[in-house]
Amino acid sequence: MTGADRQAIQELVACLHHKDKNIQNDAIRVLYEVGAVATERIAPYTETFVALLGSGHSRMVWGTMIALSGIASLNPQCIYPHLPRVLDAAMPGSVIARDHAVKILVQLAKVAVYHTDALALLIDQLKDAPLNQLPTYAEQTLAVISQPYKNALAGRLPEVAQESKHRRIRKVLKKLAA
């Protein structure tokens, strides 16, 4: 990363605390979009992002969650200590915030030292997930599943009335049985 790039990122991070919400919104969007293509550029600001999870501004919370889910794929060890805060921010938050919290858990579950904790939290998410998100969460977690996860997913299947969502979950369960 060039010095100019580093300075631009620093300026964007500073704008996260600007008094104008529009500038905050623009800054978080640019940062998470930069993170999507070059996560290493925003990873040094993990602590700053975590601090923003307490914001009363929902756009800032879900934008921050998008950035953190990218960082989790690059540096899961930086995210793990902040997991309680991540989950606290996701639960009352938007669908986007919750979706990215699940992505963070999936990334953590891929790391041996975090697997057990992350998987237990994923199972909790599965048990409480809104029905419209359940198929997506089931698909995202295929790589890190366990028998309790399979049981939790199968237990929720009767609740799913919409045929397309039911079919997606059955497809995941079929893959798990193979």
Give CATH for domain 3-128.
1.25.10.10
3-state secondary structure of 139: helix
3-state secondary structure of 161: coil
DSSP 17: T
Which among 116, 22, 27, 28 is positioned nearest to 67, based on CA atoms? 28
Residue 136 near residue 170 (C-beta atoms within 8 A): no
pTM over 0.85: yes
Q: Where are the domains of the chain?
A: 3-128
Q: Provide the residue-wise pLDDT of the chain in tens; the chain has 178 residues.
A: 678 888 999 999 999 999 999 999 999 999 999 999 999 999 999 999 999 999 889 999 999 999 999 999 999 999 999 999 999 999 876 899 999 999 999 999 999 999 999 999 998 988 888 889 999 998 888 878 777 888 888 899 999 999 999 999 999 888 888 7
